[in-house]
Amino acid sequence: MAKVEVTIEEVALENEDGRSQPGVRAECERCNHTVESFGTGDNSRRRCLALLREECPEGEENFYVEG
């Protein structure tokens, strides 16, 4: 298990009703895989880090940290 830095940026995301809401997008600096979460707080950022681990396209189980 490797420690991988992630770039997190605040973005506007479209919800199910087609409305724009604040959110965050996280990108793995190793493979450029991205995930998104609604909200801009710590919980949304941690959710993105967990999603990156779950959805890793390389099948790795890395420890993701905001860089």
Give the chain's domain count: 1
CA–CA dist 40, 43 (Å, integer): 8
Going by pLDDT thresholds of 50, 70 and 90, the confidence category of residue 53 is very high
Domain containing residue 11: 3-66
Inform me whether the pLDDT recorded for 49 exceeds 90.
Answer: yes
Decide if 13 contacts 36 (C-beta within 8 A): yes
Token pair in block for residue 32: 């450029």
Give the domain CATH number at 41. 3.30.160
pLDDT at residue 1 in the model: 76
Going by pLDDT thresholds of 50, 70 and 90, the confidence category of residue 54 is very high
Q: Tell if the pTM clears 0.95, that is, is over it.
A: no
Inform me whether the pLDDT recorded for 19 exceeds 90.
Answer: yes
Token pair in block for residue 41: 């707080």
